[in-house]
Chains A and B, each alone.
Chain A
Amino acid sequence: MTAGTNGPSREQKYDRQLRLWQAHGQKALENTSILVVHANATATETLKNLVLPGIGSFTLVDGKVVDGADAGSNFFLEGSDIGRSRAQAAAALLAELNPDVRARAVVADVEKALTVSPELVTQHNIVVASSLPQHILLPLAKLCAAENIPLIVVRAYGFVGHLRIQAVEHCIVESHPDTINDLRLDCPFPELLAYANSFDFHALDNMTYAHIPYVVILLRCLEEWKSKNNGALPTTSPEKTAFRQMVTSLKREGVEDENFEEALKGVFRALQPTKIDSKVASILEEARTKPITAETNNFWILAKAVAEFVDSENGKLPLAGVVPDMKSDTESFVKLQTIFRDKAHKDVAKVHAIASNLSVGATGPSLEETARFCKNARNLVLIRTSTIESEYAEPYAGTMADMPENNVQYYLALRGVDAFYEEHKRYPGYHAEEVESDIGLLKKSCTAVVTKMGLKNVAVSDDIIHEMVRAGASELHTMASFMGGVCSQEAIKLITGQYTVLNNTFVYDGMRSVGAAHTF
């Protein structure tokens, strides 16, 4: 019961994060094995943030040996590591952070390792690659896309941060909207309506009257309105005003009216017809025609089951079963909660039965998973990022006008740096004596990138070219740590399937403290 004798339990150690992503999120994390390409500072900082919360295992691939600059910019390499394998030295220090995590170092030239043994990639669930030259990155990205393994490309270059997520298909059940609103006041289910009708407003004493839940007040008013208006809800502005007056007219003289004020505040929401959001509808549409095979993941099985449920339930999704806090006496509130919960349970049972029938071979989604899916059905998110291959296709079909000018320039400058590397087999400004000559060369590379992409009215300014050359491929630890934080944060969202991940590019201008996102 108490800590100490057998060391801290995982539960104690992970207490805080369990409150964020719950036990099923932790399980997903512990079942994940990640491949990290390059043991530079950005990559090791990323790994640190995944090892601490207990990712299942990691493989770190790097063929280089530690030099002085590595030890200076990488917290997970020490002076005494100079001359050792970067992958081994960093993996050892990272493994020390958490004995629950299995660590593996692959000491090999990255390009060779990836071409010779693609299973190095495919035996992992997620890949993080930092500062990979283009000719290695593109085949890796292609492989990940083909295998539907999420890939995060991350880099800290001087004061610039860049992150790109490639997830061919990422399904999010728990997108965590600010609130879940599913009260069905416009189309109450029979149990809810019966409960609302059980209140005899005239007979209630003042105290009870002040505690009628606002949901009941609105339901009764809506029923009355509908009976006078051929079943239609108030839609126009004058109708809404008249409806509000109807609610107000029920206030009792001299009786506390907090519940009526809540009802008036709730009118706007109550009059929004319960319908399926177009994004969710298109997910269900896709699920309807999707054949279920042994490989189909539970998201699609459940989506298909919910689609069938919707068809059999007059176009209504399973009830979320959540009642917001409101002015009420405990008894009525608990009763209301029970009515919503019971109906939600019924809906879950139906969906679960359909899903079990749909599942091929294996047992299919558990009741718990089904319940989670139903509760979040109105907030499902499906992300299909473009491929990195298409980002490099020429010309680029879109614009980048949604990003601040400087961030666009930094993105292009990084592309220019990569093109420079492909041509000269070194990074601009890496050797102090070549700084001056590299400025002109990088400028040429950047211009070539802009031209090939076919971007109009964009050029990388001389200031930014100078800045990039001056940075000399340096990895500022602060930026590496920051970008490692961003990268691991997105990795956790991808792994747990909770919260919406970035789609798909993030560029941070550390000089001006301006971040920007763009969808390629």
Chain B
Amino acid sequence: MTSFPLPDRNRDAALALGPDKWRSAVAKKLLMVGAGGIGCELLKDLVMAGFADIEIIDLDTIDVSNLNRQFLFQKQHVKKSKAHVAKESALRFNPNVNIVSHHNSIFEDQYDVAWFKSFDLVLNALDNIPARRHVNMMCRAANRPLIESGTAGYLGQVSVHLKHTQCFDCEPKPTPKTFPVCTIRSTPSTPIHCIVWSKSYLFNLLFGKDEDESAMSSSADDDAQEIADLKREAEELRNIKNNSQSPDFAKLVFEKIFTRDIERLLTMSEMWSSREPPKPLDFKKLHSEMKKMKPLPTGVDRNMKVWSLVENFHVFTESIKPLAQRLNEGQAKDSEFSMSFDKDDDEALDFVTAVTNLRAHMYGIELQSRFKVKEMAGNIIPAISTTNAIIAGLMVLQAFKILNNQYDDCKNTFLVHGGQRTQLICGEVPPAPAKECGTCQAGYFTLTVDTAQFTLSDLVDSVLTKDLGVDGEITINESGRMIYDPDFDDNGPETFENLKITDGKRILVLVDNDEDESKNHSINFFVIHKAGVTPYELDGDKKIPPRHKAKAPEAKRLLDDEVEVSNKKSKGDGETVEVLDDDVIIL
């Protein structure tokens, strides 16, 4: 492993690409975001292709379930940083490359526009939409090309995002699925309702910070009285939580959630006029049945077989104890300690599976295996090495084109199933940007100011009006808070510092002009603080594209014969699959 560099180490790469093109490509500096399934393949491919200046960032640590595909990691690396271990493993194969690893979140302020500008190309190998959208936005701000990737089972895709093509945000993404509060809390009808209740409501109330409401939405349809009752129920549970050291903790929780709360629900006769009412469970009865229970299957069967009612009861009582103990031990050290549901935490998964099934049983809903609950609760998308290898290879092929400025040769590529669609790999020219996209049809600037001196009025009068010549009503936001609009200009005289617009923050300005749509703009300012700067330094392309209003969604059409047929036809080669890398967290 010591005889590098080999004289002809990159002979094949240079031959195939042509020595000049190869040399100019591999001299470039790359950023890889994500060191998971696709990331491991990608890093290997990049190093083998001769790229010698790469930074990797990943927040994650290695889990056992990564080992079936993330081949830069081995058993002894479990729980270590993916970014660091990936770097170490890649260096083993070629010590002559410069790899910098960051075990960190890409959202951190330190990864600012200037940092993104230090790369020639950004490659995303990410598993979640928010991070992908963030990198996409930063690439737009830094004017750097981005290659996006994703896989799901045997499917995958690679897309290229250049200045003149669609950005990642141009195509609207599916919004996370939410359920009405009352469905989750009172009237579940499917297994997923029970799973959401177990992991987002109960698990969080007992062991977490508090109820996770992200998966539930209230609407005007929900009964106000019912909501009030549910609030009270949650309060009672918080009180029980204070008894988590009691030997009776399992019983206290059980009788509260599976007996008393259900009995209360049954008194709401209106609710059950057209529904089968739930049947409360009896702790004592199940407890005595449990004594006669055969031992729970072990190994694969424990995971794959659906447990009986009493088996679920048994797992409930068994798993709640260690979870409570972990909470108590954690809080003894740090009063703020809390846990959150992790699908790879065996005890947490046991608990959520048992609670899901006990609840499902009461409501006459089909029970699920632990394996299936893990998949649904963890929103797991199956990931395998074959697909990752294909996708990473396609990414590097596109990287060569971008780095040699062959933008017209770039393709978005899709891996399909085979079968009816025999092509396996389909390509399309990257589409033009969507006119109404708020991310790429926007201005991006770095604004260097002395935040102790520079005021909001300076931004409005000097930068926006005089320098950029905007003409319309101005609204200013920072991190989702509105700090200025035509009816609210109180903040005008305030300095950035007073408004907490400090170094690294991003300001979003919306300009609206009722008469002339072409004067509508979205403008982003990344603020850099530098003491003593007067009045300001502005860096960015002052030719800002207009922001088109989003089109109203098309009216939903009823499917008829003709549509059904044409739908089938359109499922052709260009079909896009919106898929993600590895384990995805959307609900």
* Residue pair A205, B365 in contact (C-beta under 8 Å): no
A299 contacts chain B at the CB level, 8 A cutoff: no
User: Would you list which residues of chain B between 1 and 57 have a CB under 8 Å from chain A?
Assistant: 1-4, 6-13, 15-18, 41, 44-45, 48-49
Let me know if B274 is at the binding interface, CB within 8 A: yes
Which of B60-68, B254-262, B530-538, B542-550 makes up part of the contact surface?
Answer: B60-68
Q: Which residues of chain A come closer than 8 Å to B417, judged between CB atoms?
A: 176, 499-500
Segment at the interface with B among A108-116, A260-268, A301-309? A260-268
For the complex, give the distance between the alpha carbons of A45 and B365 in Å. 46
Are B78 and A513 in contact, CB atoms less than 8 angstroms apart?
A: no
Q: Chain A nearest CB: distance from B214 CB in Å? A: 23
Stretch at the interface among B107-115, B391-399, B451-459, B470-478: B391-399
Which residue, B189, B274, B387, B411, has most C-beta atoms of chain A within 10 A?
Answer: B274
Q: When A and B form their complex, what is the total count of cross-chain residue pairs whose Cβ atoms lie within 8 Å?
A: 263
User: Judging by beta carbons under 8 Å apart, are B394 and A482 in contact?
Assistant: yes
Q: Which of B273, B274, B398, B422 is A502 in contact with, Cβ under 8 Å? A: B422
Residues in A whose Cβ lies below 8 Å from that of B560? 268
Total contacting residues, chain A, CB less than 8 A: 90
B12–chain A nearest beta-carbon distance, Å: 4
Interface string of B385-426 (1 = CB under 8 A from A): 111111111101110100000000111010001111011111
Q: Are B64 and A80 within 8 A (Cβ)?
A: no
**Which residue among B4, B8, B64, B365 has the maximum number of chain A CB atoms within 10 Å of its CB?**
B64
CB-contact partner of B423 in A52, A211, A515, under 8 A: A515
Using CB atoms, name the residue of chain B closest to A266.
B559
* A120 → chain B closest CB, angstroms: 25
Residues on B with C-beta less than 8 A from A176 are: 417, 419
The answer to whether B337 has its CB under 8 Å from any CB of chain A is no
- Chain A residues lying within 8 Å of B386, measured Cβ to Cβ, are 49, 485-486, 488-489, 492
Across the interface, do A476 and B65 meet the contact criterion of CB distance under 8 Å? no
Given contacts A331-B276, A506-B424, contact A45 B389 (CB under 8 A): yes
Q: Are the CB atoms of A69 and B8 closer together than 8 Å?
A: yes
Beta-carbon contact of A8 and B67 below 8 Å? yes
B564 at interface (Cβ–Cβ under 8 A)?
yes
Judge whether B179 is part of the interface by a CB distance below 8 angstroms: no
Known: A52-B71, A69-B8, A499-B154. A508 touches B425 (CB 8 A): yes
- A172, closest chain B residue (CB): B419
**Number of B residues, CB within 8 Å of A:** 91
In angstroms, Cα B384 to Cα A14, docked, is 9
Given contacts A16-B69, A205-B274, contact A79 B389 (CB under 8 A): no
Q: Cβ of B49: which chain A residues have Cβ within 8 Å of it?
A: 476-478
**Residues from 1 to 40 in A contacting B, C-beta threshold 8 Å:** 1-3, 7-9, 11-20, 23
- The answer to whether B393 touches A478 (Cβ under 8 A) is yes
Name the distance in Å between A65's Cβ and chain B's nearest Cβ. Answer: 15
Interface stretch of the complex, out of B237-245, B375-383, B479-487, B502-510: B375-383
Stretch among A70-78, A282-290, A312-320, A414-422 lining the B interface: A70-78
- Encode contact with B along A184-226: 1 for CB under 8 Å, 0 otherwise: 0000000000000000000001011001000000000000000
A contact residues around B78 at 8 Å (CB): 3, 8
Q: Does A493 touch B at the CB level, under 8 Å?
A: yes
Cβ contact within 8 Å between A73 and B6: no
Q: Which residues of B contact A261 (CB under 8 A)?
A: 558
CA distance A42 to B4 in the complex (A): 22
Q: Pick from A18, A240, A481, A500: contact of B41, CB below 8 A.
A: A481
Which B residues are closer than 8 A to A by beta carbons? 1-4, 6-13, 15-18, 41, 44-45, 48-49, 64-65, 67-69, 71, 74-75, 78, 93, 153-154, 189, 273-276, 299-300, 303-304, 346-347, 350, 363-366, 371, 374-375, 380, 382-394, 396-398, 400, 409-411, 413, 417-420, 422-427, 558-561, 564, 582-583
Question: What residues of chain A have their CB less than 8 Å away from a CB belonging to chain B?
Answer: 1-3, 7-9, 11-20, 23, 45, 48-49, 52-54, 68-69, 71-73, 75, 78-80, 82, 96-97, 158-159, 175-176, 205, 207-208, 211, 240, 261, 264-265, 268, 329-331, 333-334, 337, 381, 470-472, 474-479, 481-486, 488-490, 492-493, 499-503, 506, 508, 510-517
A sample of 14 more A-B contacts (CB under 8 A), given A337-B366, A485-B386, A490-B418, is A1-B346, A45-B389, A53-B68, A72-B13, A96-B74, A175-B419, A176-B417, A268-B559, A481-B392, A486-B425, A501-B418, A502-B424, A513-B397, A515-B426
User: 3 smallest A-B Cβ distances: which pairs?
Assistant: A482-B393, A485-B389, A515-B425
The 15 listed contacts between A and B (C-beta, < 8 Å) are A1-B346, A1-B350, A3-B64, A16-B582, A16-B583, A17-B68, A72-B8, A72-B11, A240-B561, A470-B16, A478-B400, A481-B44, A511-B409, A512-B411, A514-B411
